[in-house]
Structure 1
Amino acid sequence: MTRAHAAGPAYRGSRQLADLVLAAVHLDDPDPPAIRDRDALAAVLAVSLLAEQVLDGTIAATRDKLVWLQEPVAGPPRDAVLRALLRHGLPAPIAAVVDELARDSAETVWQRLVAQGVAQRARSRLRHGPGYAFTVLAARQWPRALLSSAPHRPGIPAHSAAPLAVALWRVLRALGLATFSLPAGSRAWLEAADPPPGIEPLLRSLPAPRA
Structure 2
Amino acid sequence: MDKRILLMVTAVAATLFSCGNKTDRQAPKDSTNVVENVINKELTVFGMCGEASAMNTLQLITDSGDTLSLSVNEAKENNNVFGGYGIGDRMAVLLNDDKTEAKQVINETTLLGNWTMPDPFDGSSIVGMALKDGGIAESIDMANIVYKAWRITNGRLELTLMREGGSEEDEIEVYDIKKLDADSLVFGNDEDIFEYCRQK
Query: Could you state the TM-score of these two structures normalised by the residue count of structure 2?
Result: 0.24
In terms of Rg, which structure is larger? Answer: 2
Per residue, is there more helix in 1 or in 2?
1
Structure having greater relative contact order (Cα 8 Å, sep ≥ 6): 1
Per residue, is there more strand in 1 or in 2?
2
Query: Could you state the TM-score of these two structures normalised by the residue count of structure 1?
Result: 0.23
